[in-house]
Amino acid sequence: MTIILNLLKEFVLGKIFGTVEKYFLRRILNYVRYVKKTVIFTLGAVVVLFIIYFWNLDQKLLGWAYKQVNLIFDRKKVNQVF
């Protein structure tokens, strides 16, 4: 009788611990996926910014904007007479 009860306990506890382990494993895997996506996104952003900085693309791509800003905000020559 005790052998049957022990087998039943092991079966029930095994089922419970199995689901708990699966639950925590799922949570850990979701966390790992989240960290992986965050690392990939961050590295991608760093690579893009490095390429823009290294190849001086900010001035090449935004040269037209610099020209417009300089036209708008350039100081006009003022003739001051004292």
Domain membership flag for residue 80: no
- 65 inside domain: yes
Evaluate whether residue 48 is within a structural domain: yes
Q: What's the whole-model pTM score?
A: 0.50
Per-residue pLDDT tens digits for 39-64: 999 999 999 888 877 887 777 777 78
Please report which confidence band the pLDDT of residue 77 belongs to, taking 50, 70 and 90 as the band edges.
confident
Please state the domain count of the chain.
1
- 76 domain-assigned: no
Please compute the mean of the pLDDT values over residues 62-75 and round it to a whole number. 79
Q: Establish if 79 belongs to a structural domain.
A: no
pLDDT at 49: 86
pLDDT band at 1; cut points 50, 70, 90:
low
Residue 56 lies in a domain: yes
pLDDT value for 34: 93
- The answer as to whether 25 is a domain residue is yes
Cβ contacts of 59 within 8 Å, gap of 6 or more: 66
**In terms of residue numbers, what domain contains 44?**
2-71
Asked if residue 78 is part of any domain, the answer here is: no
